[in-house]
Amino acid sequence: MKYDYIIHNASITGVALAISLKRAGKAVLLINNYGFCGGSITESLNLLQETDDVQGIAEELLSSIRKQNRAVHLQEGNQVILNPEVVKSVLLYTLEDESIPYLLHVKAQAVDCSEDGVTVTLVAKEGTITKTAAQVIDASDDQYLLQLATTEKAVLTQKRIHLMVTPPQHDSFLLAPYMRTFKQVEDGRYWVSLALTPQTQLFSEMEANETNDDFAHRLRMSGARIQLLPAQTQSVMDFSKVTEASNRIMGTVSSKNAQQEFAKASEMVERLNAIAV
């Protein structure tokens, strides 16, 4: 089957965009690396978000999340710390309710553009599969799919480790030199964001492991421990040298309508799907 749109990453942006296009009568397929939705909020525990100017479908999604029990760990003005498990379940149930086809636990390996459309090669549990659409939209934070389709690469500038820790006896761990920011939630736990400055992806993972070990030691000295670890660290990329970065839509067909749809969805949830404050 050839789709009108393949959307990469089931972040709030990706889900909102999929819903918008599906309601407009388009054939949509949503693909995602992990077996759950949520983008960096659930993949990297990027839980501290700003909710200014959220409208339309994004507002529907956020409202559905807030209605769930224990959905919000902390609300301070326009800043909110969301429960990642609630985000996962609400987005997945919404995809089911909207009858949007999706593939979870698939990793994009290649993107090929031709006169017939855009073909994405995916590595799945059952092996390698291909999916084709008139257009492919990269709604991910790191624009991974877009980078597969271009020779220009974004530069990794920072890695961030986001963690939830148990209530401490004292807060000396907050003096760690790599501490970016933190918030104490209502039950006494802390959400913390640690900053790394890696040279390469390989060395960043090594540094992340070393930082986790050091931070775990600091927590023990404070009478606390790490409660939640992310599935992956968060990558902060510099796209200034990637000329295609402003256009996340790939395809040979006129993309004017898709550009408008993506701009609308992206603007609505820019703060929700960007980086930790």
- Exposed/middle/buried for 56, CB within 10 Å: 0-12, 13-18, 19+? middle
Largest pairwise CA distance in the chain: 63
Over residues 76-83, the mean pLDDT reads 90
Task: List, in order of start, the domains of the chain with CATH numbers.
Answer: 2-152+239-268 (3.50.50.60), 155-236 (3.30.70)
**pTM as predicted:** 0.87
Over residues 90-107, the mean pLDDT reads 97
What does the alpha-carbon distance between residue 233 and residue 49 come to, in Å, rounded to a whole number?
A: 17
CB 169 within 8 A of CB 157: no
pLDDT at 144 (0 to 100): 84
Smallest CA-to-CA distance from 34 within 130, 140, 154 is with 140
Question: How do residues 139-184 score in pLDDT, each as one tens digit?
Answer: 887 888 878 877 777 788 888 999 999 999 999 999 999 999 999 9
More confident of the two residues 179 and 269? 179
Model confidence at 28, in pLDDT bands (50, 70, 90)?
A: very high
What does the alpha-carbon distance between residue 5 and residue 258 come to, in Å, rounded to a whole number?
A: 9
3-class DSSP state of 10? coil
